[in-house]
């Protein structure tokens, strides 16, 4: 059964652009930090929750009306969000920013597949062609990195599994957001992800306190830029446009992040990254032609980083 999204109060292109710019900074901030990725993820979630609380405390009253089933779904969404952050952020220790973010752009492909099975969303011939091109592009990137080093290929696989985790998160979100506000959903899921990270760090005995001021600044920026201005905006937009359309914002990340990686870390693009990246983006653009965002051509969208 298909569910038609309601109309957004503002043109969706504006928040999409803000979100796309914000997520491009995620890999840069992660790369600048020397803290374990589980610590970065934990504080990213904690500071995000603290930043959110003053702006929607009235909605906390409706927490008691959330059903047991929806609490289970919220727990599932929070766990897979934490898993996404853990795996994807770890990938940046092994592979380049370009490869890691290019692989993340496969997200809408798997969201489309998941939506087909979960929501019976139809897949046309053009999206299928785009799917094939995007998968071919990711294969080119991965095979190129494998030839460079096993470490780079390991990073690609971490990014790929992290991408699958956020696909589950987005599909679960689409179900819950029919009954729970985007603010309350984001707050609870981020809090659950924080708890997951805290348990992970405690079990492994990872230091979560002794860090220099620069690290704490990075933790805060991770909460403000890619999370509040990225994830929260995309969660809100899920009420008005399809999860596959939201996921298309990953198109912006490899472009913006690769340029920033070149300028800040001197990471040059390899031939396989260029060819594979072009194939992935062209494949996803083919899908975008099937979605209407109220503008002449089609647009973008999605979260990950």
pLDDT, tens only, 32-75 = 999 999 999 999 999 999 998 888 777 888 888 899 999 999 99
- Please enumerate in sequence order all residues whose Cβ is within 8 A of that of 109, keeping only pairs 6 or more positions apart, or say none: 130, 131, 134, 135, 283, 284
User: Token pair for residue 190?
Assistant: 């981020």
Q: Which residue has the higher pLDDT, 221 or 302?
A: 221
pLDDT, tens only, 130-188 = 777 877 777 777 666 556 667 888 998 999 999 999 999 988 988 888 888 888 998 99
Report the distance separating Cα 17 and Cα 251, nearest Å. Answer: 11
Least confidently predicted of 43-47, 84-88, 276-280, 294-298: 294-298
For the chain, give the percent of residues with pLDDT over 90: 33
300 pLDDT exceeds 50? no
Report the distance separating Cα 123 and Cα 274, nearest Å. Answer: 28
Report the distance separating Cα 58 and Cα 293, nearest Å. Answer: 31
- Please enumerate in sequence order all residues whose Cβ is within 8 A of that of 205, keeping only pairs 6 or more positions apart, or say none: none
pLDDT at 3: 45
Helix, strand, or coil (residue 185): helix
Report the distance separating Cα 219 and Cα 47, nearest Å. Answer: 8
Give this prediction's pTM. 0.78
Helix, strand, or coil (residue 215): helix
């Amino acid at each position: 059964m298909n569910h038609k999204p309601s109309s957004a109060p503002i043109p969706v292109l504006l928040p999409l652009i803000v979100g796309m710019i914000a997520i491009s900074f995620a890999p840069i901030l992660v790369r600048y930090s020397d803290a374990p990725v589980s610590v970065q993820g934990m504080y990213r979630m904690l500071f995000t929750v603290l930043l959110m609380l003053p702006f929607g405390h009235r909605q906390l009253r409706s927490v008691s009306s959330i059903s047991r089933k929806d609490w289970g779904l919220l727990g599932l969404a929070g766990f897979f969000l934490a898993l996404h952050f853990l795996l994807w952020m770890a990938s940046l220790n092994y592979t380049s920013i370009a490869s890691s973010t290019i692989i993340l752009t496969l997200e809408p492909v798997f969201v489309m597949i998941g939506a087909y099975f979960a929501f019976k969303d139809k897949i046309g011939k053009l999206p299928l062609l785009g799917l094939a091109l995007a998968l071919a592009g990711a294969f080119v990137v991965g095979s190129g990195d494998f030839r460079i080093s096993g470490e780079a290929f390991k990073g690609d696989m971490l990014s790929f599994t992290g991408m699958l985790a956020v696909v589950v998160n987005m599909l679960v979100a689409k179900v819950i957001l029919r009954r729970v506000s985007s603010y309350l959903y984001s707050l609870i899921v981020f809090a659950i992800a924080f708890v997951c990270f805290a348990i992970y760090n405690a079990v492994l005995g990872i230091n979560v306190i002794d860090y220099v001021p620069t690290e704490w600044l990075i933790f805060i920026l991770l909460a403000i830029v890619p999370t509040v201005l990225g994830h929260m905006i995309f969660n809100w937009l899920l009420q008005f446009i399809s999860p596959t359309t939201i996921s298309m914002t990953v198109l912006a990340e490899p472009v913006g992040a690769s340029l920033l990686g070149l300028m800040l870390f001197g990471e040059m693009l390899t031939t396989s990254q260029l060819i594979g990246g072009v194939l992935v983006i062209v494949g996803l653009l083919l899908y975008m032609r099937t979605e209407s965002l109220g503008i002449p051509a089609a647009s973008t969208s999605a979260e990950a980083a």
